[in-house]
């Protein structure tokens, strides 16, 4: 366990020993979906990928929503989907990389006493290499046009990093498999109920 693999409590009154829901945030390539699905399986909880929920509800891809309605409309759909997801218990929720940029989402994620927000952190080079590998090896992986524009990618990463750091806990994912990341989370949070 590295020094970043430890809880921090920006809201000291919150009891994080037995959350009812765990939310994973981080930049693209952080492993939110793969770690989230595995963590939910280990806990006996439901896994929810917020982007997939939006696609299912809207019956079209996120790229199509952005193209036809713009980012502001997508962020509102994302906010509504997030509120619906957070009304559930015993879920692990993977956020889209930009969900933290919507100021309306932050209180839902950081101030609810039964919600634990985890930031899956890695250096940008690691995140980019993971995304590139995914696009080469998984035929149905979402295309990420921003990978072609390094300046825009770096600007987005630097803009979002402070928002991710508002999470209750930062977990270093560089050089770790999803299983190793999940084991780190479970070892630290021994009081999280595995199932009810």
Average pLDDT estimate for 68-80: 91
pLDDT digits (tens, 9 = 90+) for 25-51: 999 999 999 999 999 999 999 999 999
Query: Where does the pLDDT of residue 80 fall: very low under 50, low under 70, confident under 90, or very high at 90 and above?
Result: very high
Residue 193 lies in a domain: no
Residue 46 lies in a domain: yes
Average pLDDT estimate for 82-89: 94
Residue 138 lies in a domain: yes
Virtual torsion, Cα 105, 76, 119, 178, nearest 10 deg:
140
Residue 10 lies in a domain: no
Tell me what pLDDT residue 144 has.
59
Domain limits for position 140: 23-188
pTM of this structure: 0.84
Sign of CA dihedral 132, 135, 136, 138: positive
Number of C-beta neighbours around residue 26 at 10 A: 26
Of 103 and 19, the structure prediction assigns the larger pLDDT to 103
Phi, psi of 105 (to 5 degrees): -80, -25
The three-class DSSP label of residue 105 is coil
Residues 6+ apart with CB under 8 A from 184: 1, 5, 171, 176
Query: Where does the pLDDT of residue 2 fall: very low under 50, low under 70, confident under 90, or very high at 90 and above?
Result: very low
Residue 32 lies in a domain: yes
Query: Where does the pLDDT of residue 13 fall: very low under 50, low under 70, confident under 90, or very high at 90 and above?
Result: very low
Cα–Cα nearest to 28, from 108, 116, 146:
146
Domain count, the chain: 1
pLDDT digits (tens, 9 = 90+) for 88-144: 999 999 999 899 999 999 999 998 888 999 999 999 999 988 887 776 776 666 655
Residue 170 lies in a domain: yes
Tell me what pLDDT residue 132 has.
79
Tell me what pLDDT residue 14 has.
42
Tell me what pLDDT residue 195 has.
44
The CATH number linked to 159 is 3.40.50.300
HSE, CB side, 13 Å, CA atoms: give it for residue 102: 22
């Amino acid at each position: 366990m590295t020094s970043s693999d430890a809880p921090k409590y920006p809201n000291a009154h919150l009891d994080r020993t037995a959350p009812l829901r765990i939310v994973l945030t981080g930049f693209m390539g952080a492993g939110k979906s793969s770690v989230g699905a595995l963590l939910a399986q280990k806990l006996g909880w439901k896994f929810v990928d917020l982007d997939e929920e939006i696609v299912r509800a809207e019956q079209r891809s996120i790229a199509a929503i952005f193209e036809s309605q713009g980012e502001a409309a997508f962020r509102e759909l994302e906010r509504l989907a997030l509120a619906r997801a957070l009304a559930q218990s015993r879920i692990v929720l993977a956020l889209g990389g930009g969900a933290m940029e919507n100021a309306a989402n932050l209180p839902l994620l950081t101030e609810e006493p039964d919600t634990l927000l985890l930031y899956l952190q890695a250096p940008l080079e690691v995140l980019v290499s993971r995304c590139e590998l995914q696009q080469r090896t998984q035929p149905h992986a979402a295309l990420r046009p921003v990978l072609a524009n390094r300046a825009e990618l770096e600007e987005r990463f630097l803009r979002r990093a402070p928002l991710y750091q508002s999470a209750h806990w930062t977990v270093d994912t560089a050089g770790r498999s999803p299983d190793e990341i999940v084991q780190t989370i479970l070892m630290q949070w021994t009081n999280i109920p595995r199932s009810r």
